[in-house]
Amino acid sequence: MDKIQKKVLIVEDDVQISKVYEIQLAKEGFLTVTAHNGDDAIKLLVEEKPDLAIFDLMIPKKDGFELLEEIKNEHPDIKIPIVVISNLGQEDDKARAISLGATAYFVKTDHPIQEIMAKIKGYLKS
């Protein structure tokens, strides 16, 4: 019997960065769906039912904080790990994201992709 692949939603407006995540996740055997703005992210969260989501905070239409807030208030049934990967490195940004439901917070420039992928794999283990 085939093992069901885990699905990851990537929410990132930088196409090159989202491609890097897609490639790295595919190497690890995960399926990916990608949204480049907050409106599409909510739609894909509801329709695709991913096992984990990666959010950038600075995205068009609805930023990552607004997404986290909407999930918390309007979609409480969505209970998946949400990993924030952002250029915002202030402690108050991290604290705000965690308080809104983010599982983990990484500053893009402080963590190599391999470290982030290792964390994501840990969250997706069955």
pLDDT at 120 over 50: yes
* pLDDT (tens digit per residue) in 80-89: 999 999 998 8
CA angle 100, 10, 15 (to 5 degrees): 125
Q: Name the pLDDT band for 3 (thresholds 50, 70, 90).
A: low
Query: What pLDDT does residue 23 have?
Result: 95
What is the percentage of the chain residues whose pLDDT exceeds 90? 86
Q: What is the mean pLDDT of residues 5-14?
A: 95
Contact yes or no for 9/48 (Cβ under 8 A): yes
**Could you tell me the fold of the domain covering 7-124?**
Rossmann fold (3.40.50)
Domain ranges within the chain, ordered by starting residue: 7-124
Q: Mean pLDDT over residues 70-92, rounded?
A: 93
Euclidean distance between CA atoms 68 and 99, whole angstroms: 9
Q: Can you give the pLDDT at residue 1? A: 43
Q: What is the pTM of this model?
A: 0.93
Contacts of 20 (CB under 8 A, 6+ apart): 113
DSSP 78-114: ----EEEEES---HHHHHHHHHTT-SEEEEGGGS-HH
Residue 51 to residue 49: CA distance in whole angstroms = 7
